[in-house]
Structure 1
Amino acid sequence: MTLRDVRHTDIASYHARIETSRNIADLIVQASGPAIEGHDVKLSCVSDCTLRPSSRIMWKKDGHVIGLSDANRLTDALILRNVWTGDDGEYSCAIEGQKDHPSRTLRIKVMYRPRNISVSVRSEGAILEGHSVILSCLSDAVPPASYKWYRKTGDASSMESLQQFYPITRVTSEHCGHYYCVATNVHGTEKSADVQLDVQYPPKNASISVSPTGDILEGSSVMLTCSSDANPPVHTYTWYKKNVSILQNFSISAVGPEDSGEYYCQALNKHGGMNSTLFHLNVLYPPKWTVGQMALDDHQDDDVTLTCSSDGNPPVETYTWYRKSGDYTTHVGSGNVYRFALTSTTAGFYHCEAANKLGSQNATALEVSLPEERGGA
């Protein structure tokens, strides 16, 4: 419309109305909010034009008709109730009879918390000490989850990594244990089951312990135990004394002096072996094999030297000499060597006594007599 030679009388409000026989409208699909699993989502078909009351709205998902508004157009909305991943897709609307002029599509992607979480240990074959491993955590989540790795220590847990794939370049026995991961997004958190990191290694820290503890006395029972840290566990322990293999288990019901010595054990599993440090088994016993000996001076028969020897562990602490004459026995000296001048008053039967803290033993008596008595015999 064109107004020419306008006058004061042309002042007024003017309105225009456009009508088309095809009734084409510009349509837009709008969502009431984000599509979160388990919630309802309302899709509205919106137009800047006023649609005829008799117009009906046709809804499509991924190109397939899924709904048609009622004839009196009480609502143009499509309500997706309790949405789930099956509702994912491209949604559009169109006026019935004008399917060739639909709205632009609206992409619906249902979001949900992490689920179907799984963990695994990736390694080439058995996990051997010094090799590399990767702990892997996978989950299904929209939007994608972030990850944290934890290691269990007794009743507590410590965070080890913020990566979905947790690499350990050189594993050691210290890495053995149970691990789990936690997947998180804005809609929630999910914890995985535990995965065990089983690092295998040859025996280490081999050591020997003795039972009972304390002094080992002759005649008592003794057991030596070999311990080692290994994975898989040690399958064979072998005992050695002076580098000679003796047995796989070391237990003696009545230990004797001959059992004293240096021992070590060897621990073996399929990955190797290790020797323990030396252990000295020290069997204690009172004096034994006590013997007295007599020597006469080659030049003077009246000089006598008596010597006493004995074996004991701990070593003999004291040697004591006694003389028996008739029915009387008297203490005459100390020390493993006893010298005296032979006279009629010193002749008689002599014996020594060897003693340590565990006991004592007497030697067989030696007869010391005057030369004329010896010759007369």
Structure 2
Amino acid sequence: MVMSVRMAPPLPLIILIMIHRVSGADWDVSYSPSHICALKNSSVIMSCTYTYPTGHQIMKVFWSKNNVKGEDHPDLSEDPEYSQRLQYLGDTQQDCSIRLSHVTQKDEHMYYFRFITDKPDGKWTGDPGVTLTVTDLQVEAPERVTEGHNVSLTCNSSCTLTDRATFIWYRNSQPLTERRDGNNQLLLQSVRREDAGRYSCALHGHSYISPAARLSVTYAPKNVSVSINGSGEIVEGGSVTLSCSSDSNLPALNFSWFKGGRLVGSGRIYSISNISSDHSEEYKCKSISEHGEKYSDAVTLNIMYPPKNVSVSITGSGEIVEGDSVTLSCSSDANPPALNFSWFKGRNLVGSGRIYSISNISSDHSGEYKCKSRNKIGEKYSDAVTLNIMYPPKNVSVSITGSGEIVEGDSVTLSCSSDSNPPALNFSWFKENQSSAVGSGQSFSALQSGRFYCEAHNQHGSQRSDAVTVIVKGRLVILYISIGVVCGAAVIIGMLIW
């Protein structure tokens, strides 16, 4: 915004010069002018001429401010109040002008010129004399103006100055402009807040400066800002106070608080108790006065809190098969972000870091895993996740059920068991040296002598058990279970059942 400072257009200044002549026959005193309006502390010249009859010789000339008949006419040059300030500029012929310096309101009088000749009746006083009025200057200005408006200041005097006046303006005791104008008005256009101050006026060539008048410039709130109480970190569970301030020379009528774009409070102070991470967002305030409103810049509440929502994710999808590689990732919501992670299988610490990797995974890795996330505010465990490792049957074995005597015509029940994930649901029974299965299912009834084994299947593979030997003799059934080889010879444990 550009502000122009200029003097208002000059108004016509009319000075009426009155030449006052006081005469009688050949006696004469003329004053020009007969009324003088002078500025306080200035010098005034009272112009005067006089004549007298031929044959008279001037004996004394002087000025007085008393012309009461029958009383003395005191000579002002002999008056202590005037002697240092009064200078006679005339002569003893016809010029009777004087200069009176440093005039004040006490000098407001009618002044008379008197001269005395050498004749007994040769005395004369120019009556009426010169009327002197002394004025000061006063700045007339509105108490306040709204920013952007125009305002006019006037330099007033109590009477019309006799001399043509050139006005000078000051703001805060500094000359406002080098421009001088005969007009007594100062026009400020498109006022800015910088135009506020104490204005005074003076006349060029005079030392007197008027008393200052204060001009206030009112404006809408500016420089609106938000401050956060205290210092350091804001930790979840604590309390926070936000304060709104603005630059305005009129009190704010209201303050409003916004979180994001949503109104959340009013008043210069906005307090939050038991603060949580949900309060982390941008806040700003709006200052409102009778001249307008303005928003502050946004401030962000950075709430510190320990890890929460800690969780474990498993890379990939679908089944985890023995021999694969698996990566577990730990994530959490924390401020400051968690940089320390620990991994547990059951209660055992098994690793650290945000990522925990297992290569060539086996069934031994099956179990519950969880991670612990930690920052400087606190720590938290995730819920447990279970690694379900898929693997083909292993540790396949045959067990014998039933008890008592086994005679010819009876049967022996063999049961097949295995360790697998998912559990094996498909079992096949074989007799050694035969390519085709002799039975299926987890149990098998043997009716004849021979070596038998089972084979367990799931979708990831199969495995066969060791063979067991069944011998039937008459009604004597001898069951042998081969369990190994020692020193190159088979070791057989036999059982006789009668």
TM-score range for the pair, normalised by the shorter chain length: 0.7 to 0.9
Tell me: CA distance 1:323–1:92, structure 2 relative to 1, closer, same or farther (3 Å).
same
Q: Which residue of 2 aligns with 1:11?
A: none
**What is the one-letter code of the residue matched to 2:335?**
N
Aligned to 1:365: 467
Structure 1 residue 368: deviation in Å? 2.7
Deviation larger for 110-119 or 55-64: 55-64
Number of residue pairs aligned between Structure 1 and Structure 2:
344
8 Å Cα contact 2:308/2:380 also seen in 1: yes
Cα offset, 1:355, TM superposition: 2.7
Judged with a 3 Å threshold, the aligned counterparts in structure 2 of structure 1 residues 268 and 52 are, in CA distance, closer, same or farther, namely closer
Aligned CA distance change for structure 1 residues 129 and 355 (closer, same or farther; 3 Å): same
Deviation, structure 1 residue 258: 0.6
Match of 1:9 in 2: none
Shift of 1:327: 4.5
Which stretch of structure 1 is more off in the superposition, 38-47 or 25-34?
25-34
Give me the TM-score of the superposition, normalised by structure 1: 0.74
Structure 2: tracts of 5 or more residues without a match: 1-36, 38-107, 109-130, 480-491, 493-498
Q: What is the DSSP-based 3-state SS (H/G/I as helix, E as strand, rest coil) of the residue aligned with 2:152?
A: strand
State the Cα deviation string for residues 259-297 of structure 1 (Å, max 9, x = none): 111222111111111112222222122221111234685
Match of 1:130 among 237, 251, 270: 237
Q: For 1:212, what is the secondary structure of its paired residue?
A: coil
Matched residue SS, 2:364: helix
What does the per-residue CA deviation read over 1:149-199, in whole Å, with 9 as the maximum and x for residues that have no partner?
A: 3333xxxx3333333332212211111123333444455554433322111
Aligned to 2:364: 258
The change in CA–CA distance for 1:263 and 1:96 in structure 2 (over 3 A counts) is closer
Within 1, Cα distance between the matches of 2:424 and 2:286? 71
How far, CA to CA, are the matches of 1:240 and 1:352 in structure 2? 39
- Give the equivalent residue in structure 2 for 1:236: 340
Between 74-83 and 365-374, report the one with greater CA deviation: 365-374
Whether 2:252 is the aligned partner of 1:148: answer no
SS of the residue corresponding to residue 35 of structure 1 reads strand
How far the C-alpha of 1:43 sits from its partner, in A, is: 0.9
Q: Hey, what does 2:313 align to over in structure 1?
A: 209
Match of 1:193 among 280, 297, 300: 297
Question: Once structures 1 and 2 are overlaid, which stretch shifts more, 88-97 or 105-114?
Answer: 88-97
- Structure 1 residues 64 and 272: CA distance shift in structure 2, 3 A: closer
Q: Give the counterpart of 1:321 among 415, 420, 429.
A: 429
For structure 1, the residue ranges without an aligned partner over 5 or more in a row are: 1-18
Aligned equivalent of 2:227: 120
In 1, the alpha carbon distance for the partners of 2:267 and 2:456 equals 76
Counterpart in 2 of 1:108? 215
Deviation at 1:306, TM superposition (A): 1.2
Secondary structure of the corresponding residue to residue 329 of structure 1: coil
Which deviations, in whole Å up to 9, do the C-alpha atoms of 1:337-368 show, x marking residues without a partner?
3234x3xxx33342222233444332233333
Structure 2 counterpart of 1:308: 416
The 1:296–1:84 alpha-carbon spacing in structure 2 relative to 1, beyond 3 Å, is closer
- The residue number in structure 1 matching 2:153 is 43
Change (3 A) 1:358 1:99: same
Give the whole-Å Cα distance in 2 for the aligned partners of 1:115 and 1:181: 12
Residues of 1 paired with 2:134 and 2:298: CA distance?
61
Equivalent runs, 1:276-355 vs 2, <5 Å: 276-294=382-400, 297-302=403-408, 303-323=411-431, 327-334=434-441, 336-340=442-446, 342=447, 346-355=448-457
Q: Is the Cα–Cα contact under 8 Å of residues 95 and 102 in structure 1 kept in the other structure?
A: no
Out of 89, 110, 117, the residue aligned to residue 197 of structure 2 is: 89
Partner of 1:3: none
SS of 2:221 mapped into structure 1 = strand
SS at 2:344 equivalent = strand
Residues 44, 368 of structure 1: alpha-carbon distance in 2 compared, 3 angstrom cutoff: same
Label 1:86 to 1:23 Cα distance change in 2 as closer, same or farther (>3 A). farther
In the alignment, the residues of structure 1 paired with residue 263 and residue 413 of structure 2 have an alpha-carbon distance, to the nearest angstrom, of: 82
- The residue identity in structure 1 corresponding to 2:392 is P
TM-score scaled by length of structure 2: 0.58
Counterpart residue number, 2:379: 273
CA distances 1:72-116 after superposition (whole Å, capped 9, x unpaired)? x9532122355444433344668999999968x643112234333
Compared CA separation, residues 297 and 65, structure 1 to 2 (3 A)? closer
Contact 2:236 2:304 in 1 (8 A): yes
Q: Please give the alpha-carbon distance, in whole angstroms, between the structure 1 residues aligned to 2:192 and 2:218.
A: 8
SS in 2 for 1:251: strand
Deviation for aligned residue 1:301: 4.5
Whether the 8 Å contact between 1:297 and 1:304 is mirrored in structure 2 is: no
- Separation in 2 of the partners of 1:35 and 1:296? 114
